[in-house]
A and B are shown apart, each in its own frame.
Chain A
Amino acid sequence: MHEADLIIIGAGPAGMAAAHTAAGTGLSVLLLDEQQRAGGQIYRDIERSSKTRGELLGKDYIAGLDLANGLNHKLISHIRGATVWQIEDARLVTFTVNGKATQATGKRLLIATGALERPMPVPGWTLPGVMTAGAAQILLKQSGIVCQRAVLVGTGPLLYLIAAQMVRAGSPPLALVETQTYNNRAFAMRHVIGALRGLRYFVKGLGLLAEIRRAGIKRYTGAADICIEGHNRAETVHFTSRGREHRIEAANILLHHGVVPNTQVTHSIGVIHYWNEQQRCFIPRRDDWGRTNLHDVFVAGDGSGIGGAKSAELSGRLAALEIACDLDAIGNGDRDLQATPLRTALSGEMAVRPFIDRAYPPFEGSLLPADSTIICRCEEVTAGDIRRHAKLGCLGPNQTKAFSRSGMGPCQGRFCGLTVTELLAQANHSTQEETGYYRIRPPLKPVSLGELATLADTETKEAAK
C-alpha cells in the first residue's frame, strides 16, 4: 500500500505541474501515469525525444522538458505504466503495474486525465488505415514514424500543426479536407478582439498555414458527406466541397474535429458534470481551484475543460496551491499571492478559445451520423440502431446500452458516449444534459483474474503483518 498527501492521476502538463508545485510546499506526491514516460499526449515521450524530432515538432513541444525535469524531486514518486482502474471514497486508488494490482491512499486526489479525440464517426472510419490525427502525431512524437500518402480530415488548429510537422518530416499530406465553413469563420470574427490577447496563437497558426501553402498542399473547406472506402483497409476518401464531389486515393486517413475531456475517471466516482454547448461535451463541475463537488477531489487540465497545454499547466498549479492550503502546508495569504499571476496568465491563455470554438466547430455529419454509420466501434452498433431504440422508448444512454450493447465493449464508451448522447437528445427532443452520459463503473479498464489475485495476495500479506 502506497501513501501520500496527494495522489495525482495523469502525468501530462497539468499533473506534472501540480506535482512540482505541491512538492514545493512540502506535500508528498504520488503521481500515477499509464504511460512509460511522463509528458501526457501533448508532450508524449518528451524525455527521450531526439534532437531531430524535437526540431521537427517545434518549440512548444520542447517546452514540456522543463515540466518533466521538475518531477525529479524527493517528495514526488512517479509510478510509470500505472493503469488506475478503481477509486473508492475519493481516497483509495487501485491500479495495475506490469500485471500486478496494488493500492494507494491519499488525503487529496487530483484527476488530470486530459483529453480524448472527439469521436468522428463517418462511414468507413473503422477500417485499418484510418486513425485519429492525434494518433498520427503520437507515432511521430514517440516513435519518429510518419504516415505516408495521408489525408487529414476534419477541422481545427491541430490539423495544421500536424500537416506542418509532416511537411518538415519530408512526407507532406496529400490534402487537408476541412469541414469548417466560411460562415464559421465570419461568425468567429466577432470574438477576434478578445482573442487578440492570445496573439501568440494567431501568429503560430498563420505560420503553420504559410508552411502548408508553401508545400503546395491542397485544402478543401466546407467538406461534407465524408465517406471512407476500401477493401480490408482504407483506400479512398470521398466528400463534397463547395458543391462538387471529390475522391482522393490515400493510405492513411487521419480524422480530427477537436478534443474533449476524458471524463472516464470523474464519471466513475460521482463528480457532477454539465453539458458545454460550445464545446459539445460534458465537463466536470469545479470551482476556480479545480475542486469538484466531492470535497477531496480536484480536476485540472484538459480533463476539466479544453484549454490546451499551457492552461493545463496553470490549472494544475492552482489546484496544487489550494490542496496545499487545505492540508496546512501554506496559508491563505501565500496561496493567493502565488495564485494571482497564474490566474492572469490563465485568462490570457483562455482568451483565444471562444474564437477557436466558433471558427472550427465539430463536424455536424459526425455529431449526428447517418443511420448506417457505425458509432460504437467495439460492438459495431450503428446510429440507426440508437435511433430505433429511442423510438422504442429509450431516453438515456444506459438504456440503449442494455438494448444494443453500445458502450459495453472494452473501450467502455470512450469513443461512442458523446455520439449516443447527441443522437438520443435529438431523437427524443430533449437536451444533452437531460439525456445524460453512460454510468461508468469500475474497473475503468479490463482487469484480468491474475491482477485481482495479486491484489488479494498483497492484502492478505499486509493483514498478516
Chain B
Amino acid sequence: MKTDSEFCLIDETSHRVTVRFEGQELNLREGENLAAELLAMGVAPFRRTPVSGAPRNPFCMMGACFDCLVEIDGATRQACMVEVTENMEITMPSVNENSDA
C-alpha cells in the first residue's frame, strides 16, 4: 500500500477518528465519504480483481462501478457509499466474495 497522496484538501477539517485499512491505522475525517478519505490518505489499491488480481481504486464515486469494494467489519461494501465512523476495520475484499457483496 502506497501512501503519498495525490489529492489535497481545500477547506475545513472536521474531527478525525481512527480506522484501520489492512491493519494500518489511518486518521480520517469523521462522517466524510470513506472512499474519498482513503484516496486522500493515498490508499492504493482498494482491492484486487477476482479475475486477474489487477489493482483497482474508485472510478465513479457514485455507487455505479463497484471498483471501490472493500470489506468493512466483515461485510463487503462500496466505500464510496459509506461514511467514516470510528474504529472501522477495513480490508481488501477476499477475492471469492467480490461478486456477491
Contact = CB atoms under 8 A, between A and B. Distances in A.
Interface string A16-43: 0000000000000000001110000100
Contacts of B11: 50, 52-53, 144
B6 A252 contact: yes
B87 to A, nearest CB: 18
Interface residues of B, number: 43
A170 B7 CA distance: 12
A453 B2 CA distance: 39
B99 A410 contact: yes
* Of listed B45, B57, B100, B101, residue having the most chain A CB within 10 A: B57
20 contacts: A127-B55, A128-B45, A128-B55, A129-B6, A131-B61, A134-B62, A135-B61, A138-B62, A142-B61, A143-B32, A143-B33, A145-B9, A170-B10, A232-B45, A380-B49, A380-B52, A409-B66, A409-B99, A410-B66, A414-B64
Contacts, number: 137
A145 B36 contact: yes
A139 B5 CA distance: 14
Contact of B58 (A52, A135, A146, A149): A135
Nearest to B64: A414
Contact of B10 (A36, A145, A445): A145
B98 interface: yes
Given A142-B33, A143-B37, A380-B52, A53 B69 contact: no
Contacts of B55: 127-128, 232-233
A371 B83 CA distance: 39
Contact of B64 (A81, A116, A142, A233): A116
Contacts of B64: 116, 262, 411, 414-415
Contacts of B5: 148
Interface string B76-90: 000001010000000
Interface of A: 34-36, 41, 50, 52-53, 56, 81, 99, 116-117, 126-132, 134-135, 138-140, 142-149, 169-171, 232-233, 251-252, 262, 377-380, 409-411, 414-415, 445-446, 448
Contact of A129 (B33, B37, B44): B44
Contacts of A149: 6
A41 B52 CA distance: 32
Nearest to B67: A377
B65 interface: yes
Contacts of B83: 36
Given A170-B10, A377-B65, A409-B66, A131 B32 contact: no
B6 A446 contact: no
* Of listed B55, B62, B75, residue having the most chain A CB within 10 A: B62
Interface string B45-63: 1100101101111111111
A117 B44 contact: no
B39 interface: yes
* Of listed B10, B57, B66, B99, residue having the most chain A CB within 10 A: B10
Contacts of B9: 143-146
A117 B36 contact: no
Given A147-B6, A380-B52, A446-B100, A131 B59 contact: yes
B92 interface: no
Q: Which 5 A-B pairs have the closest CB atoms?
A: A128-B57, A251-B6, A135-B61, A143-B36, A410-B66
B26 interface: no
B60 A148 contact: no
Nearest to B51: A380
A145 B33 CA distance: 11
A36 B51 CA distance: 32
Contacts of A411: 64-66
Given A138-B61, A411-B64, A171 B33 contact: no
A378 B83 CA distance: 24
A50 B39 CA distance: 21
A346 B8 CA distance: 38
Nearest to A251: B6
A39 to B, nearest CB: 12
* Of listed B8, B36, B60, residue having the most chain A CB within 10 A: B60
A134 B60 contact: yes
A134 B61 contact: yes
A441 B69 CA distance: 21
B17 interface: no
Contacts of A135: 58-62
Given A144-B11, A252-B6, A132 B44 contact: no
Given A128-B55, A170-B10, A252-B6, A233 B66 contact: no
Given A135-B59, A139-B36, 18 more contacts: A117-B60, A129-B6, A129-B44, A131-B57, A134-B61, A135-B61, A143-B32, A143-B33, A144-B11, A145-B10, A145-B36, A145-B40, A146-B8, A146-B9, A148-B7, A410-B66, A411-B64, A446-B99
A415 B63 contact: no
A143 B82 CA distance: 13
A41 B65 contact: no
A126 to B, nearest CB: 6
A409 B98 CA distance: 9
A52 B10 CA distance: 8
